[in-house]
Structure 1
């Protein structure tokens, strides 16, 4: 047992929410218990664009990390606050009637009547438990539900955009082609499997023939046995009955004698008791109930005698049938030992051998194998061409839109292009490679993003891509974790406007260190560290207008806040209200 965690709960609600569109469904409530340096925190969310600010190291990203845990990300013991037994995070989302998530919850036996509550508990040993609407769930189920609810863009997302694989995934997700891309990958693997089988058959025909001959003999042996799992159970039961037939006959006869055999039998004793009680009913009618019960017992005993007699009459000593069953059971046991399986598994093993035999027979027929290979390739080609067409449409649209946004992000005259280059040989990802290319200034040629973009340019281009991609996403809640790193000045103000515009259609939360971005928010929270009972805790405060001015002034002026920086902060908020 660790030391007791100091209680310090905060329930927060944005105080300076200025009338952004109400969005539903969205993240409504987040509860955090003993997570890293947060002891107890309860947050109520609104729609629109919200900013989370604070000093470096105060714990701004902890809120995002906690939400990621509730959404199914990997958990470890390090998230449990020092001295505590467990960390717990709950995220409550509104749920639209008839939505895909509602249907999924019903299909997976989760209650879907009052929103969607995702809960995660991690103990100090690193073990985690997941719940959806109060019912135990797997982490994979948590992740599946989260895909309909929130999209989190991390502060290192820009760097991932330099990788070809990440670029391809983004295009497929933007075009709604992720499922088709998976189908293409499966079709490719199937095609390659059949191709490998054909090549192996051509190069190792002799070994295949020997294996096929052995399998044919094994399958014939099993077919001759004619094993059936239900018959195996029936045979065992009948064998036990015949093997003990003499004892069963003797025992049932003895039971009949005890019930109805002589003057001391159970039926005669019960009859005597019944007659005795009936004689007394005239004296006291209360004895009628016991008499009825004895009469019922007498009937049950009589039926038992008849049932035992019928059972005994059906039994017979049949040595020949017993011998046949013993031979049958021994044959099954011998074959099971030979193949090193339990008798009950012989049927499954026969099916497996048959399947392998069919593969080998196919492999011995070059014509049939070539036909299968051609059919598999045709299936891959059809799916891959469909995927390519969708990628081309999306690449053209996204290139145009990102280029337009670049003009407002200190890259006037720059352009962005998504190149789809045909591959020499088809691959599991399709028929083309995808490469993001950029020209940051007028007159410069398009070159790969990873080679020409500076840190600041990469941040701006990455942010433009993420904001545009988020506009077509289906999730209601978008979270940006310091994705504005590397920008500032007028560009930061434009980024803030972009997020504010996005907040008119979605719920947007941005962790930011830029006052130009925070000033555009509809509401703002501030994070700070404090010491409680020798423990460092992260405290979150909802800011009203006066508090926002102080926080923006701090972000503008650094350590010392002056009246000049306060006036600048007021002007920033006033400009936001005018727009």
Structure 2
């Protein structure tokens, strides 16, 4: 669960350190106080997109850290172990630093990490639901995805997608084999001729013969320059080796009198050794050289072959051997090309495998749809929709897809005696917000994440409906930790911890978040129900709202 958040120079926060409790936590505050501050900071720690607006005015960077506790053998524990990030503390520290330049850096348990790693661990730790989630209900794939998620059909749905992908792959291979059949024979003959033409040069290294030919072409100049060099080094009356030896003898007697002279003396000794080796190698090189006109003619012929073939195949001479290998590989592949008839059998087999998995998925979806629609109906009825009714409609697709055999719609009616119709066609905005809220809570019941964040999902409801939403969230908080931004006193009254966001008139302006004691909670609930003026009536109402929580639980 989320245990602590630290915000330094993040948006309106100069320095905030907040402890988060287990259970149902709410954030409230006046409009403009910065209620999204905490969630924005948490999102940054989970690897979400950030911008320079998060850096407090007048500072060069924002620094946020989120601390989570976790259980052994949980999904996040396995992830940490796989990435060698686990430690004995039993905690996960996610840190994000956002610079005013637009860059950001991230750490997991003190080790620099990528944003993709933050997102991976973040998905295991936290699920976020926002007030905009109701728009998802209107998207055609949503009912199917919601059904699969609630019913834990991830694996069979994934099996269908994989089987469909395999079937489509064999279809493409079969078509490619049919297309290749026509040109295969012609291409094989062409490759065989090309390989035969290049075969005689495959054992010859172009770079080596090019260098050897260049050396033979300049044989006379090379020998003249080498002979001159040998004379200067060792054979002249006053040669370099003798002169260097004389210098070394003169300095040898003084080397012990100065560290600097000793270094010079040793350097000259090394130079003498290098010069002796070079002279010996030069003499050996001269002795081994001979001009061979026949060898030069052979090399010239080989080079001409290389250049002629390079022009013919529009490549560089040094690339011909690699081209030869590539053509060999292509020829082998063409000889091994599967028979279209064999591939046609694989297409049929893979289609049957896909169909079996898709039919099974369609069957379990249909079986799960009826009780799920009934459960959804019961939950929504509690939110001032007493005549609500839901059902799933399965329409066979004209052509099977990776998602299955049926197009799945969620039908709804809010009025008794009226037939259920597609949700997007008949649900009002207020109805959609309540339906979305219930569906999110139902999904949250099935999530493996230990932290659920609800961002103003109770917009558009009030009174008894808001009270029921608060109860739903309070029940859910018996199993997971909940963090909820709300404007509804009826929802806030059901919480275990109440965090108040307040704006301070500093320069520049800043916000703070404080955990309210019971008396302070009554005052804040009174403000939420009665506006700026708090009187005995609003205070009494706030106390009654709190008493409802204890009565209910």
Common topology (TM > 0.5): yes
What secondary structure, in the 3-state scheme, does the structure 1 residue paired with 2:131 have?
coil
Name the CA shift for 1:211/1:33 in 2 (closer, same or farther; >3 Å).
farther
- Over aligned residues, Cα RMSD in angstroms? 4.9
Q: CA deviation at 1:398?
A: 3.9
User: Which of 125, 129, 145 lines up with 1:169 in the alignment?
Assistant: 145
| 1:336 and 1:346 in contact (8 A); partners too | no
User: Which of 27, 50, 55 lines up with 2:30 in the alignment?
Assistant: 55
Paired residue for 2:450?
476
Is 1:154 equivalent to 2:154 in the alignment? no
Q: CA deviation at 1:549?
A: 1.6
User: Which of 194, 206, 209 lines up with 1:235 in the alignment?
Assistant: 206
User: Which of 481, 485, 497 lines up with 2:459 in the alignment?
Assistant: 485
Name the CA shift for 1:173/1:33 in 2 (closer, same or farther; >3 Å).
farther
Give the whole-Å Cα distance in 2 for the aligned partners of 1:99 and 1:335: 65
Is 1:381 equivalent to 2:352 in the alignment? no
Is 1:217 equivalent to 2:194 in the alignment? no
Name the CA shift for 1:214/1:543 in 2 (closer, same or farther; >3 Å).
same
Q: CA deviation at 1:419?
A: 4.1
Name the CA shift for 1:321/1:210 in 2 (closer, same or farther; >3 Å).
same
Question: In the TM superposition, what whole-angstrom CA distance separates every residue of 1:87-134 from its partner, at most 9, and x where no partner exists?
Answer: 6655444465665556556766x755472425263656xx55453436
Name the CA shift for 1:242/1:455 in 2 (closer, same or farther; >3 Å).
same
| 1:239 and 1:325 in contact (8 A); partners too | no
Is 1:557 equivalent to 2:530 in the alignment? yes
Q: CA deviation at 1:49?
A: 1.8
Name the CA shift for 1:266/1:213 in 2 (closer, same or farther; >3 Å).
same
Give the number of equivalent residue pairs: 541
User: Which of 490, 493, 517 lines up with 1:544 in the alignment?
Assistant: 517
- Which has the higher mean CA deviation after the structures are superposed, 78-87 or 433-442? 78-87
Q: CA deviation at 1:335?
A: 5.7
Paired residue for 2:296?
319
Paired residue for 1:145?
121
| 2:233 and 2:241 in contact (8 A); partners too | yes
| 1:169 and 1:178 in contact (8 A); partners too | no
Name the CA shift for 1:309/1:515 in 2 (closer, same or farther; >3 Å).
farther
What secondary structure, in the 3-state scheme, does the structure 2 residue paired with 1:161 have?
helix
Paired residue for 1:525?
499
Question: In the TM superposition, what whole-angstrom CA distance separates every residue of 1:514-539 from its partner, at most 9, and x where no partner exists?
Answer: 11111121212222445443x55544
Give the whole-Å Cα distance in 1 for the aligned partners of 2:332 and 2:154: 32
Q: How does 1:279-298 map to 2 (within 5 A)?
A: none
What secondary structure, in the 3-state scheme, does the structure 2 residue paired with 1:156 have?
helix
- Which has the higher mean CA deviation after the structures are superposed, 287-296 or 522-531? 287-296
- Which has the higher mean CA deviation after the structures are superposed, 91-100 or 341-350? 341-350
Name the CA shift for 1:119/1:418 in 2 (closer, same or farther; >3 Å).
farther
Question: In the TM superposition, what whole-angstrom CA distance separates every residue of 1:479-537 from its partner, at most 9, and x where no partner exists?
Answer: 0011122333333223223322332332210011111111121212222445443x555
- Which has the higher mean CA deviation after the structures are superposed, 133-142 or 501-510? 133-142
Q: CA deviation at 1:303?
A: 4.9
- Which has the higher mean CA deviation after the structures are superposed, 65-74 or 75-84? 75-84
Q: CA deviation at 1:184?
A: 4.1
TM-score (normalised: structure 2): 0.76
Q: CA deviation at 1:409?
A: 3.5
| 1:34 and 1:84 in contact (8 A); partners too | no
Q: CA deviation at 1:147?
A: 1.8
Give the whole-Å Cα distance in 1 for the aligned partners of 2:307 and 2:188: 23
- Which has the higher mean CA deviation after the structures are superposed, 159-168 or 398-407? 398-407
What secondary structure, in the 3-state scheme, does the structure 2 residue paired with 1:371 have?
helix
Name the CA shift for 1:316/1:500 in 2 (closer, same or farther; >3 Å).
farther
Q: CA deviation at 1:553?
A: 0.6
Name the CA shift for 1:449/1:552 in 2 (closer, same or farther; >3 Å).
same
Name the CA shift for 1:131/1:283 in 2 (closer, same or farther; >3 Å).
closer
Give the whole-Å Cα distance in 1 for the aligned partners of 2:431 and 2:308: 77
- Which has the higher mean CA deviation after the structures are superposed, 422-431 or 148-157? 422-431
Q: How does 1:282-361 map to 2 (within 5 A)?
A: 302-304=276-278, 318-320=295-297, 322-323=299-300, 326-327=303-304, 329-330=306-307, 333-334=310-311, 337=314, 346=323
Question: In the TM superposition, what whole-angstrom CA distance separates every residue of 1:393-440 from its partner, at most 9, and x where no partner exists?
Answer: 654564454344345444457554444443232023221222223455
Q: CA deviation at 1:70?
A: 4.0
| 2:6 and 2:15 in contact (8 A); partners too | no
What secondary structure, in the 3-state scheme, does the structure 2 residue paired with 1:148 have?
helix
Paired residue for 1:512?
486
Unpaired runs of 5+ residues, structure 1, are: 1-22
| 2:65 and 2:93 in contact (8 A); partners too | no
Question: In the TM superposition, what whole-angstrom CA distance separates every residue of 1:428-465 from its partner, at most 9, and x where no partner exists?
Answer: 32212222234557766554333444444433332222
Name the CA shift for 1:404/1:282 in 2 (closer, same or farther; >3 Å).
closer
Name the CA shift for 1:57/1:220 in 2 (closer, same or farther; >3 Å).
farther
Question: In the TM superposition, what whole-angstrom CA distance separates every residue of 1:9-60 from its partner, at most 9, and x where no partner exists?
Answer: xxxxxxxxxxxxxx4xx3632536454x556555443332210112234332
Give the whole-Å Cα distance in 1 for the aligned partners of 2:304 and 2:430: 83
The structure that has the greater radius of gyration is 2
Give the whole-Å Cα distance in 2 for the aligned partners of 1:255 and 1:112: 68
Give the whole-Å Cα distance in 1 for the aligned partners of 2:308 and 2:128: 63
